[in-house]
Amino acid sequence: MDPEQSLITEEHRSLIGVKSVPVVHVLKASDVRQVREALHDTDPKWSEESGQAGPWALAILEPRPTVGLPDGAVPRVLPTGVLTQSEWTVHRPFKVGEELTATHSVADLRERLGGRFGRTILVLVRTEYRDAAGELVAETSHTVTQYDPKGAEAAS
């Protein structure tokens, strides 16, 4: 393939900004307790009596980036992908038992030439979590680096 020609097509770019079908999640007390105990978090702010879950509750809600999302929601440009970066922003504490609606979208696609994996595609997936009133409660961004193992061998 000509190194000057991008692997990212207009079809791939057309997915940028398209939100997935909303998915409703409920933070169950048992899940919150299990994660809190696994982390040995004894902060009274996140006790069962407080009714609030710590920011780590996003770990309960988060799908693996690009897995479990609707077919076609995230472009597959190269055959292999690895999570290379995650960012979580929590705007307010989560309430145990509250319904949060998540929507996912591709925020950006970038291509890199060279490096350890040869030619790579960076896919930035963004998720928004909103409460019943539509207020933004939390958001996450995950960068998945797609690569072709054959390209990594050629770059060596």
**Phi/psi of residue 101, each to 5°?**
-100, 125
Q: For residue 2, is it within any domain? A: no
Q: Is the pTM of this model over 0.85?
A: no
Q: For residue 71, is it within any domain? A: yes
Three-class SS of residue 107? strand
pLDDT for position 1: 54
Considering its fold, how many domains does the chain have in total? 1
Q: For residue 30, is it within any domain? A: no
Q: For residue 130, is it within any domain? A: yes
Determine the Cα–Cα distance for residues 136 and 102; give it in Å rounded to an integer: 10
Q: For residue 89, is it within any domain? A: yes
Q: What is the DSSP string of 12-34?
A: HHTTBTPPPPPEEEE--HHHHHH
Beta bridge partners of 127: 104, 140
Determine the Cα–Cα distance for residues 130 and 128; give it in Å rounded to an integer: 6
Determine the Cα–Cα distance for residues 147 and 129; give it in Å rounded to an integer: 29
Q: For residue 88, is it within any domain? A: yes
CATH number at residue 82: 3.10.129.10
Q: For residue 35, is it within any domain? A: no
Residue numbers of the chain with a pLDDT score lower than 70? 1-3, 63-70, 151-156
Q: Which amino acid is at 34?
A: Q
Determine the Cα–Cα distance for residues 65 and 84; give it in Å rounded to an integer: 10
For 26-63, the pLDDT digits (tens) are 989 998 999 899 999 999 998 888 999 989 888 888 76
Q: Give me the domain span that covers residue 136.
A: 10-25+65-155
pLDDT for position 62: 77
Q: For residue 46, is it within any domain? A: no
